[in-house]
Structure 1
Amino acid sequence: MAGVVVVALVAIGGYLWQQRSAASSAGSYRTATVERGDIRVSISATGSLGAISTVDVGSQISGLVTEVLADFNDTVTKGQVIARIDPSTFNAQIAQGNAAIHAARAGLATAQASLRNAEADYRRKAALGATRLVSASDVDVARAARDQARAQVDSAQAQITQQTASTRTSQLNLERTVIRSPVNGVVLTRTVEPGQTVAASLQAPVLFQIAEDLSKMEIVLAIDEADIGQVKTGQPVSFGVDAFPDRQFRGVVQQVRLSATNTNNVITYPVVVAVDNVDQVLLPGMTANAEIEVSRRDDVLRVPNAALRYKPAEADPAAASAPAQRGGSPVDELPRIAAGLQLDAAQQAAFDTALQAMRERAAARTAAPVAAPAGPSMFGGPPRGGNANRSAGNSGAMRQRMQERFNQQFAGFRDTLSESQRARWNSELTSLLAARRAPLYKLVDGKPTPVSVRVGVSDGSWTEVSGEVVAGDQVVIGSGRPAE
């Protein structure tokens, strides 16, 4: 009886020791849970708010400013008088021009009278010359006098035209003494005062600056060359201004300009963001701290970035003893992408046919006993020869070949898609094939088990993953019991 009790106590003690060891092993790792969620990738930049169209109103003439009829922040309409310049000089020029026109018209009348007399004299002498009653030289003199009279008439008419044009110029300058708003808008700046002399000899001085429409504004952001490749027209933008620290405003990328700026060997590109300012709270010149949303992944598997940075210690036998599991094939991710396209029955049938053909092709390639070149398999396998450096060097070429094969295999399916569906399919497929692989350690029975996962986008805190992990898995993010 005593022996049975001893055996029972030893068994219970061994069981308790085993459970304690397992709990101690599990407690020696800090873990996080694989979960589903959204990942938003953004680029931060700073720029200044400004009106979409700002017009500089100047003066084409020189003179003394007699009236200023618009002030800062005034709302003006197109054609409204906003300033006047003393017109006295131009009134005098117009009066002088009118007098010159009258004198030219009198000269024309005199020339026309002389022409009529010369023509009559020529006709008489030409008739007499035909009967040999006057000499031929007298007829020639009369003809020359007629031609000279005609030339004098033409000259008098030209003088009238010249004086009329000169007077018209003075009249235009007189009209320019009245400065009018060229657009509907708001006066931003005013640089002129009554009594000030405007000199427009070399260039037109700016008297007013008018913003055409402040309900629509824009931000010009300076984006670094390392990030400009991710910025596309139509991407959403959120930004804040110091005047309203608790409020976020929205905009959209309107233009990515090609004019690069080099500042201390730092290359940036201007990106124009369109902003609605219906309530007129945003003012020109405000500094905007903006974030451009370049990528967004909704309802994807994600892990903390610390899980991808974790490396087990060489002395950790639990982590070193388990072989790495292979991640899933990119083909396995295609149904998820297709599900997000909301396919109809015909499109789904075309997709299923193409997917089945690709899987059969993958199975045939796996079964074929042929020597394979170095580099990763397009269906998710590890390198089949060569060294790691060679594989890394060929990764770009492999992705290109994989892209071409996917496009060829799913060409018929792509033809059934609408334009928006095709754009999303291309974007998702490019992201899938460009994803890199990284090791991740799952905690299985208290031991870290390495698996290979495909790594997607990251927002700095979370990273999208896919492969041999599911929501709820515990992944190792560090060694040692967390501090209490």
Structure 2
Amino acid sequence: MPLLLYKKQVLEGVKSFLSSSATEVAPARSVPPAPGPVPVPEPPLRNKRSRVLWWVIVLAVVAAIVALVLRGSSPSGKTAKQANGDAARTAIVEQKDFIRRLRAHGIVEAVESRAIAAPRLSGQGLGTLIITKLVLNGSTVHRGDVLVEFDRQAQLRVVIDKEAEYRDLVEQIKKKEADQAAALAADETQLKQAEDALQTAELEMKKNEIVSRIDAEKNQENLDQARATFQQLKETFNLKRRAAQAELKVLQIQRDRALTAMKWAQGNTQKMVIHAATNGVAVINSMWKGGSFSDVQEGDEVRPGFPFMQVVNPGRMQVRARMNQADIGDLSVGQNVRIGLDAYPELSFSGTLQSLSAVAQTSSFSSRMRYLVGLYSINGSDSRLLPDLSSAVDIEIARQPNALVVPRDSVFSENGHAYVRVKNGSDYEKREVRLGAASNVEQVVVSGVEKGAVLLRDATS
């Protein structure tokens, strides 16, 4: 009988029952009382209790009928939750390509990149550099674009100071040369006068034959004194020239040093602006500041030589992942992989295992564990594909086309044989199967079941 007709008949039965009950309970108003002796009326309390009892019986009957109607609306007697539970506990045998994969986790890195570091300035007493302008992280840059600018006020002050020092030394050299020229002229004059005095004394000595003895002795003393004076001036003249040359050389060395420092300062000001050498994508590195790692930004202070940025080629990226030594037998160069990014689950790339490290390294968790480093190339590019992103690499170890595949939890073993429970009508029958390759979640069935069969999952439970 259809469900709608069944409900209709039940409701009509309820209505008829209520109407009959009301007829029995309600008193007859149209019949006049018969003549005769006056009947003795029942006590009011007894009539009230009877009516309450009737209504309780009526409500109980109605509740029972409604419960039957609700139960009849689901002939199988199962709720939606139970139905979903039954559907979740079954699986269908599929015929598809069985792929066995091995998962590894690694970090994305660029194959071609150019590190951008804070400039190493020339000179002494140079501290940190303040970033005043910085390109956005992940933005595309072209050759010649400005990547970063540093505060150059300190370098400009150094240029001005070194230039003033250089000019001062140049003027000191000019003054020293003028003073030395005047001193040279004075020394030459004094030396010439001493030479003339010597010649005069020698001429006076020729008169000794005709002069008195006292005058002859005086002429001899004058000659000795003139000769000694001339010899002394001649020797000191050369010493003064050497001393003057040394003083001038000292000033010239100081001038050259000041000139070199001025050129260094001018070169430092030019280093305050860094341009892109190649086309690529700008990637900002992290640095320790404020008690945690965070990206470098405008206003930060960086040390000279600190690599705070890199320009990478987005067309050539790779993943560096660690592989357990137990899985080395399943790996070979050239295997196809599928690479996904943890930050962007909807984004995935195909790739290839390019190389494996020749020497295993000790794991940080246990000295008995060893791992090898594998490099996996990434095919394709995307603006969201940047270095230092964590990724998952699914390595295709084996592939079996057109295989019957079932979930592993639908297969159970008894006495060394494999079985599944196949749906047959409203029940499940136990059936022996022959198994093939398996992965962590799927099992290949060689024989025993056919495509499209419904299996019971978690059959052992």
TM-score range for the pair, normalised by the shorter chain length: 0.3 to 0.5
Larger Rg: 2
Per the normalisation by structure 2, the TM-score is: 0.48
